[in-house]
Amino acid sequence: MDLKSDLLTYDINESALQQAELVDGKLLLVTNVEDLPAREIVERYKSLADIERGFRVLKSEIEIAPVYHRLPQRIRAHAMICFMALILYRLMRHRLSMANTGLSPERALEQLRQIHRHQVVVNNRPLSGVSAITKEQSTVLDALKLKKPTQDQQLTLL
């Protein structure tokens, strides 16, 4: 490019263009590890993408905010909680997918949050029960292979 010119002018470096066209549409992986076969390098790259997706899930869907710890045991505990949350999320996603529910873990949890255990006092007698379980909630519980909440006495009026 000629930056001193009034008009934008440029020349194309043909040899650089030919080099670029050779790798056009290809992903190049560069590594400093010499003793790994190409297949393993690609597998490690794909697992890195999976790890990055996991962090994205932790930050968005699971909504784990940054927490600033100083003590090593608290840092380890926080990392363990994040790891367990991610495992549960992936297990939910897998089970929902295998059951062909078409639900994401977020939508499934939205359904399950509507299940409540109630305790009321009627005529000085405490009564407890679980809110009525809808067909959709039952489908989610079945897909996740979870037992339905026990309904000692189901309160459908609440």
How many structural domains is the chain composed of?
A: 1
Q: Which two tokens stand for residue 134?
A: 């809808």
The residue behind tokens 């997918």 is 97
Residue-wise burial string across 99-138, b where 16 or more C-beta atoms lie within 10 A, e elsewhere? eebebebeebeebbeebeeeeeeeeeeeeebbbebeebbe
Residue 146 belongs to a domain = no
Residue 39 belongs to a domain = yes
Amino acid of residue 51: I
Residue 82 belongs to a domain = yes
Residue 58 belongs to a domain = yes
- Find the distance separating the first CA and the last CA of the chain, reported in whole Å: 74
Residue 49 belongs to a domain = yes
Residue 140 belongs to a domain = no
**Which pTM does this prediction carry?**
0.58
Residue 132 belongs to a domain = no
Domain of 67 in residue numbering reads as 34-104
Residue 4 belongs to a domain = no
Beta-carbon contacts of residue 105 (< 8 Å; ≥ 6 apart): 61, 89, 92, 93, 96
Per-residue pLDDT of the chain (158 residues; tens, 9 = 90+): 677 778 877 788 999 999 989 888 888 888 888 898 989 988 888 888 777 887 777 777 777 767 788 888 988 888 888 888 888 988 999 999 999 999 999 899 999 999 988 888 888 888 888 888 899 999 999 999 998 887 655 445 44
